[in-house]
């Protein structure tokens, strides 16, 4: 079965013309919320027919529905997208891919990623080993690269954050 990823949640409707208001912290929103892409809400495959942004939300119309009464049934449900439809380049990944990754600084294993903290400015990985838990910011000063095949994150100065 094709891997589905959660890319947002329908939090309400917007206006009376049948737009869904979606809250999304997904790091590749621009690849998902595009006209003619298909999303899954409450086990229904829906075609995105319009997209616009309002404040911190995404407003979409699906299947050319223009009636508020036909879209209220989706409120409160997660929005899913097929991961393969992201068409990621070899060096691209989504934040969810980092969970469970081994973190290595030089030759030293620092632990495994157990969680992602997302913020407006910088995202962080929460790393846990046998003795402690610590955060590493996902910025070039600390992250060399992520090997998707071996699920390994190579860091620079990552050891300094374990003290």
Residues 99 and 30 placed together within one structural domain of the fold: no
Q: Is pLDDT larger for residue 36 or for residue 158?
A: 36
Residues 8 and 82 placed together within one structural domain of the fold: yes
**Residue (of 90, 144, 135) closest to 113 by Cα position:** 135
Confidence of residue 1 (pLDDT cuts 50, 70, 90): low
Per-residue pLDDT, 160? 83
Residues 148 and 81 placed together within one structural domain of the fold: no
Q: Is pLDDT larger for residue 163 or for residue 149?
A: 149
Contact 57, 9 (CB under 8 A): no
Which one-letter DSSP state was computed for residue 146? E
Among 60, 86, 112, the domain boundary falls at 86
Instruction: Give the number of domains in the chain.
Output: 2
Query: Whole-angstrom Cα distance, residue 93 to residue 158?
Result: 20
Helix (H, G, I), strand (E, B) or coil at 73: helix
Among 61, 86, 111, the domain boundary falls at 86
pTM assigned to the model: 0.81
- For the chain, the C-alpha Rg in angstroms (whole number) is 19
| DSSP H helical ranges for the chain | 29-32, 68-71
Residues 50 and 112 placed together within one structural domain of the fold: no
Residues 124 and 54 placed together within one structural domain of the fold: no
CATH number at residue 62: 2.40.30.60
Provide the domain limits for residue 49.
Answer: 4-86
CATH number at residue 144: 2.30.30.240
Residue 18: CB atoms within 10 Å:
22
Residues 78 and 10 placed together within one structural domain of the fold: yes
Residues 81 and 16 placed together within one structural domain of the fold: yes
Among 86, 114, 135, the domain boundary falls at 86
Per-residue pLDDT, 92? 86
* Residues 17-66 pLDDT 10s: 889 999 998 989 999 999 999 999 999 999 999 999 999 999 999 999 98
């Amino acid at each position: 079965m094709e891997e589905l990823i959660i890319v947002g949640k329908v939090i309400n409707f917007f206006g009376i013309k049948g737009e869904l208001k979606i809250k999304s912290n997904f790091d590749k929103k621009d690849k998902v919320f595009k006209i003619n892409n298909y999303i899954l809400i409450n086990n229904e495959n829906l075609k995105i027919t319009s997209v616009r942004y309002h404040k911190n939300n995404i407003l979409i119309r699906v299947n050319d529905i223009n009636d508020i009464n036909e879209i209220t049934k989706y409120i409160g449900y997660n929005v899913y997208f097929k991961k393969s439809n992201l068409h990621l380049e070899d060096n691209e990944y989504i934040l969810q891919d980092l969970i469970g990754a081994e973190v290595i600084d030089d030759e030293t294993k620092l632990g495994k990623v157990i969680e992602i903290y997302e913020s407006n400015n910088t995202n962080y990985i929460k790393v846990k080993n046998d003795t402690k838990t610590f955060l590493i910011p996902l910025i070039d000063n600390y992250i060399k690269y992520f090997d998707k095949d071996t699920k390994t994150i190579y860091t620079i100065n990552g050891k300094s954050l374990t003290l």
